[in-house]
Amino acid sequence: ARCSIVALDKTGTLTHGNFRVAAVHPEGMTDGALLGLAAHAESYSNHPIAQSILAAYEGDLDKSRLGEVSERAGLGVSAMLDGRPVHVGNGALMQEAGADWHDCQSTEGTVVHVSSGSGYAGHIVIADEVKPGAKAAMAELKALGVKRTVMLTGDIARVGQAVGQALGLDEVHTGLLPDQKLSIVEELLPQKPAGTTLVFVGDGVNDAPVLSRADVGIAMGALGSDAAIEAADVVLMDDNPLKIP
C-alpha cells in the first residue's frame, strides 16, 4: 500500500509469453534448414521461445545428430550439431561465436540469431502479445499513487521500447542479463521516497533473485517458474496484470 516504484519483467508478466514464429530470414539456406538448425539446438530447452521454434519446424528432429548442448543464461543456446558448433540466441552470442551477424529491421518481435560454424545462418523473429489488462493495470497503479513504473527486460531495445510506449510506462531498460535486472533494482531502491516501498513483478527463474531483493515480490503464478513463486511474497494465481493494482 506504501508502494512508490513498481518494476516489472516483460515476457510472461506484461505479455502473454505465448510465442510464435512470425518470420524466418535465412542467409544462404532455406527457411526449413534455418529452422532445423535452431530446432535441434533448442530441442532440450523448455524456454517458451525454444518451444515456439520447435512448433514451427516441420522436419524430423534427430537428436542423435547432437553432441554437447549448453543453455547460456541471457544469451541463448550453444550446441554441437553434426560435429559443427551451432549457436542460437542474441547478438552478444553471435559476437562470441565470431559470426558476422546483423539485426532484423523488418518485423516487430524478438529476434533469435543462428550461426553454424563461424558463419551467420540468419535469424528467426518470434512474436509475443501484450496482455489485454496490462495497459489498464499500469494506469490504475498511477491512479493509486505509484510514482514510477519501470520495465526490465532481456529483450532488444526496439521491442522493449515499443511495449513500454504502448503501456505508458515511465522507464524501460532493455537487453538486460539476469544479474543486470538485479543491479537496476539495487539502484532503484535508494531512489524511493522515505517510508515507501519498491514492488517487483516477474515470472521466470531469472526473476527469482530480483523478487527476493525487492521490498515486495509479486510472481505470476499460473505459468510462472517454481523458483519465482518460491521467492515471491505475493503470487497471482491467474497471471492477470490487473490483479497488481
Strand ranges (E), the chain: 3-9, 20-26, 66-72, 76-81, 84-89, 110-116, 119-127, 148-152, 171-173, 197-202, 216-220, 234-236
Rounded to whole angstroms, the Cα distance separating 11 from 210 reads 15
Hunting for cell 508478466 — which residue is that? 13
Question: Which residues are tagged catalytic?
Answer: 9
User: Do 197 and 4 contact (CB within 8 A), yes or no?
Assistant: yes
Kindly write down the DSSP assignment for every residue of 8-37, as one continuous string. EESBTTTB----EEEEEEESSS-HHHHHHH
What does the chain come to in residues? 245
Cell numbers representing residue 168 in the block = 505508458
Asked if 236 and 243 count as a contact pair (C-beta separation under 8 A), the reply is yes
Q: How far apart are CA 159 and CA 172, in angstroms?
A: 10
- What single letter denotes the amino acid at residue 184? I
